Amino acid sequence: MKEKMNGFITAVHRERYEVRANGEDLYARLKAGIYYTDHCEEEFPTVGDNVELEYNPLGDCLIIKTMERKTAFSRKDPDVGMGEQIVAANFDYVFILMSLNYDFNLKRLERYLTVSWQSGGQPVIVLTKADIAEDTQEKLELVNQIALGVDVCVVSAVTGEGMEQLKNYLVPEKTTVFLGSSGVGKSTFTNYLLGKELMETGEIREDDSKGHHTTTHRQLFVMDNGARIIDTPGMRELGMWVVDDGIDFSFTDINDLIIQCRFSNCTHNGEPGCAVAQALKEGTLTEKRWKNYWKIQKESEFQAAKESRKQAVIKKKSNKKSRGEW
Ligand SMILES: Nc1nc2c(ncn2[C@@H]2O[C@H](COP(=O)(O)OP(=O)(O)OP(=O)(O)O)[C@@H](O)[C@H]2O)c(=O)[nH]1
Ligand SMILES: [Zn+2]
């Protein structure tokens, strides 16, 4: 009888998982006879998921069950018919990070709040970079107006200001996921909480294919006190209706326009009340800039679809393999 144990996923690689079980970090794979079958009823695990494992002292453990999720961030994948993709699961709190300087944008904050409530997690607004902020008080009042019933904290990872207030959430066994646009200081904040340099921050970062600077990993860390935190690579993964991180970074003007379109699902292709069409007509938005935005938008949709298709193929192949068709 193989020894069974429970654990939670801390990182997902191509076909390999990092799992924390009984305080130890282990590698694991999905048990093919359970996950790669036509009648598979198990969800593929994601960061934060609780799983049941068969321990293997000689190599990778085998994941045999994904426990039911209490919360999740998902992105829809209508193009590839794969339904939902879950990008993080089982968190208790969602820290919405927004910096008090250039990144400050109430419309965007509203979107992040919506996404948080939909996930089932409890949002907490964390306004970052307090040390270099001006008019913090005014901004705080504006935030409080739209964030009724949500705790708002003003922090700085440089001076440590405000970090005490967050300790109510960063407690043993509870999981907090971080959301926020690129550059708000998620990695710096994570490093601060962990008391070490685990995440690369701003200055040193690889360029991705589109030339954006982004955090590419998604990982769950356990703090010294046992609190769990998940840093996300950005909202790009949460679907296109949410402002894409990379796009948002350089096209804030267009994102602000899109929010003003009469229909929330406006395709900006001649619908009445389209704010983009209006701006193009008035010349406040140039054709060139709009085309650029569109191109990058399509590229990132294409990348996401490609990744899903790849996953579907892996699954299909494994199904065949387990039925002995190879
Ligand atoms: N003054 C000040 N600067 C900060 C603070 N937190 C982060 N920064 C700076 O802001 C820049 C971006 O910080 P990151 O932590 O890399 O931002 P991020 O949100 O992880 O960005 P992505 O990895 O692109 O998602 C860096 O230059 C940091 O040094 C803060 O509290 N105060
Ligand atoms: Zn429109």
pLDDT at residue 304, as a whole number: 61
Structural domains in the chain (count): 3
User: pTM here?
Assistant: 0.70
- The reply to whether 96 and 166 lie within a common domain is yes
* Cα–Cα dist 299/24, whole Å: 40
Q: What is the pLDDT of residues 165-211, one digit of tens each?
A: 999 999 999 999 998 877 788 888 888 998 865 555 544 333 333 33
pLDDT at residue 82, as a whole number: 47
Report the separation in Å between the CA atom of 257 and the middle of ligand 2, taken as the mean of its atom positions: 8
- Is 234 a pocket residue for ligand 1 (Cβ < 6 Å)? yes
- The reply to whether 209 and 141 lie within a common domain is yes
Report the separation in Å between the CA atom of 200 and the middle of ligand 1, taken as the mean of its atom positions: 10
Residue with CA at minimum distance from ligand 1 atom 26: 202
- The reply to whether 200 and 256 lie within a common domain is no
In a domain, 143, yes or no: yes
In a domain, 76, yes or no: no
**What is the CATH classification number for the domain harbouring 253?**
1.10.40.50
- The reply to whether 155 and 176 lie within a common domain is yes
State the chain's mean pLDDT as an integer: 80
pLDDT at residue 112, as a whole number: 83
- The reply to whether 109 and 12 lie within a common domain is no
Residue with CA at minimum distance from ligand 1 atom 9: 185
Pocket test for ligand 1, best of 97, 188, 194 (most atoms within 8 A of CB): 188
Q: What is the pLDDT of residues 257-270, one digit of tens each?
A: 888 999 988 889 99
Helix (H, G, I), strand (E, B) or coil at 51: strand
Report the separation in Å between the CA atom of 298 and the middle of ligand 2, taken as the mean of its atom positions: 16
Residue with CA at minimum distance from ligand 1 atom 3: 129
How many angstroms separate the most distant Cα atoms in the chain?
73
- The reply to whether 38 and 136 lie within a common domain is no
Given a cut of 50, whether residue 215 has pLDDT beyond it is: no
- The reply to whether 253 and 298 lie within a common domain is yes
Neighbours of ion ligand 2 (CB under 5 A): 261, 266, 268, 274, 276
- The reply to whether 26 and 134 lie within a common domain is no
220 — pLDDT class (breaks 50, 70, 90): very high
Q: What is the pLDDT of residues 94-141, one digit of tens each?
A: 999 999 987 788 877 887 887 888 888 999 999 999 999 989 999 999
Report the separation in Å between the CA atom of 17 and the middle of ligand 1, taken as the mean of its atom positions: 28
> Pick the residue with more confidence: 18 or 243?
18
pLDDT at residue 320, as a whole number: 53
Residue with CA at minimum distance from ligand 1 atom 30: 129
> Pick the residue with more confidence: 130 or 297?
130
317 — pLDDT class (breaks 50, 70, 90): low
Name the least confident of 34-38, 80-84, 96-100: 80-84
> Pick the residue with more confidence: 295 or 260?
260
In a domain, 326, yes or no: no
Closest ligand by atom to 233 CA: 1
User: Dihedral of the CA atoms 59, 64, 70, 75 (nearest 10)?
Assistant: 80
The CA distances from residue 157 to 139, 191, 230, in Å, are: 19, 9, 17
Domain boundary among 221, 237, 253: 237
255 — pLDDT class (breaks 50, 70, 90): confident
In a domain, 54, yes or no: yes
Q: What is the pLDDT of residues 136-158, one digit of tens each?
A: 999 999 999 888 889 999 999 99
In a domain, 43, yes or no: yes
In a domain, 81, yes or no: no
pLDDT at residue 206, as a whole number: 39
Domain boundary among 34, 68, 102: 68
Q: H or E segment at 50?
A: strand 50-54
Name the least confident of 12-21, 69-78, 83-92: 69-78
- The reply to whether 94 and 205 lie within a common domain is yes
pLDDT at residue 236, as a whole number: 46
Given a cut of 70, whether residue 20 has pLDDT beyond it is: yes
Range of the domain at 166: 87-237
In a domain, 75, yes or no: no
Q: What is the mean pLDDT of residues 270-293?
A: 90
- The reply to whether 192 and 105 lie within a common domain is yes
Which amino acid, residue 284? T
The CA distances from residue 227 to 66, 174, 198, 290, in Å, are: 21, 6, 16, 44
- The reply to whether 93 and 232 lie within a common domain is yes
Given a cut of 80, whether residue 319 has pLDDT beyond it is: no
DSSP secondary structure, 119-157, as one string: HTSEEEEEEE-GGG-SSHHHHHHHHHHH-TT-EEEE--T
Domain boundary among 204, 221, 237: 237
Distance of CA 197 to the CA centre of its chain: 20
- The reply to whether 185 and 106 lie within a common domain is yes
In a domain, 32, yes or no: yes
**What is the CATH classification number for the domain harbouring 190?**
3.40.50.300
